[in-house]
Amino acid sequence: MTRIYLSLGSNVGDRAANIARAIEALAPYGVHVTRQSSLYETEPADVPADLKNQPWFLNSVVEAETELAPAQLMRTLLKIEQSLGRERGVSKGPRLIDLDILLFGLQALRTAEVEIPHPRMALRRFVLVPLAEIAPEIRHPVLKKTAAEMLDLANDNVEVHKFVF
């Protein structure tokens, strides 16, 4: 089994329920969640001016174990997104659910299908805040910095607040 970290986000409909359904959908594919961060409400990041007015996201990070290979895991996440109703189209637009592989064991991998670690994770507070909550000492296999260190260095200025139901 390989320990992995996944980022989950939603800004359409019942955001918390969308994330919960995505987490539940992982187990039948052999992805066993061992820890989950709190939910965080975050403003949309890296979006063009014409998409700035979309709803804020709920984001979370999960730690899980799997025997899937990285490409299999990526295909699984895309399948789960589609099964939950995600429509791929406008890049950086509103999303019912968004699932990303952040870390896959200690691997660094770049193929046409998947890039691990996630290429922008070290720059994104909406990823680093929940990751540092559950795994502050986990190290980025390329940058060699912990989640807590990357969070201290991140300067994207995106608002990230713990979500209260």
Tens-place pLDDT, residues 35-62: 999 999 998 877 766 667 889 999 999 9
CATH of the domain at 112: 3.30.70.560
What separation in angstroms does the CA of 49 have from each of 44, 53, 54, 87, 95?
Answer: 11, 8, 10, 21, 17
Where in the sequence numbering do the catalytic residues fall? Answer: 86, 95, 98, 100
Q: Tell me, what's the pLDDT at 163?
A: 95
Q: Tell me, what's the pLDDT at 94?
A: 80
Which token pair is 146?
Answer: 């912990």
What is the rounded distance in angstroms from the CA atom of residue 163 to the CA atom of residue 109? 33
Q: Tell me, what's the pLDDT at 155?
A: 87
- Between residues 10 and 88, the one the model is more confident about: 10
Q: Tell me, what's the pLDDT at 90?
A: 57
What's the domain count of the chain? 1
* pLDDT, tens only, 144-160: 999 999 999 998 888 89
For residue 93, pLDDT over 90 is answered with: no
Q: Tell me, what's the pLDDT at 2?
A: 97
Which token pair is 10?
Answer: 């939603």
Q: Tell me, what's the pLDDT at 158?
A: 87
Report, as an integer, the average pLDDT of 101-112: 94
Which range of residues forms the domain containing residue 57?
A: 2-162
Q: Tell me, what's the pLDDT at 157?
A: 84
Q: Tell me, what's the pLDDT at 59?
A: 97
Closest C-alpha among 52, 58, 44, 43 to residue 13: 58
